């Protein structure tokens, strides 16, 4: 139903910032909650952030709260993850995710996944 394509990522210095974007194949019109997961080598995939169907409410993992910001623009066709004050432990493959609501995405009830984009943080 929905294709999610991530862009951005790459190498960034610890303490620096970068921004990820995820473009949906169709306008959601508030049909899906969107968010981000990440997976580091040898680790389980973990929730990072999510945003509600209308882009009003946001949800964050404690590990990124205050440093990362999730937002939606372009009539909710694109979701962004602004990543500030990056730490080496933030290095991972970041995946865009869609579900029935923002809380559903946070809870792991993901229906659609992007292919992922690598974020590397140098110390």
* Burial category of 31 from C-beta neighbours within 10 Å (exposed 0-12, middle 13-18, buried 19 and up): middle
- Per residue in 52-71, pLDDT tens? 988 899 999 999 999 999 99
Q: Name the residue among 30, 22, 67 with its Cα closest to residue 48.
A: 67
Cβ–Cβ < 8 Å for 61, 38: no
Residue 25: DSSP 8-state: S
Q: What is the pLDDT of residues 81-114, one digit of tens each?
A: 999 999 999 999 999 999 999 999 999 999 999 9
């Amino acid at each position: 139903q929905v294709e999610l394509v991530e862009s951005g990522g790459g190498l960034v210095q610890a303490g620096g910032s970068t921004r990820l974007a995820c473009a949906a194949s169709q306008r959601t019109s508030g049909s899906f909650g969107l968010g981000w997961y990440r997976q580091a080598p040898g680790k389980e995939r973990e929730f990072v952030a999510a945003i509600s169907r209308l882009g009003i409410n946001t949800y964050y993992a404690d590990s990124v709260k205050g440093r990362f910001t999730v937002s939606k623009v372009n009539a909710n066709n694109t979701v962004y993850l602004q990543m500030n004050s990056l730490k080496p432990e933030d290095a991972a493959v970041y995946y865009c995710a869609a579900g029935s609501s923002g809380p559903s995405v946070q809870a792991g009830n993901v229906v659609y996944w992007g292919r992922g984009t690598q974020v590397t943080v140098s110390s």
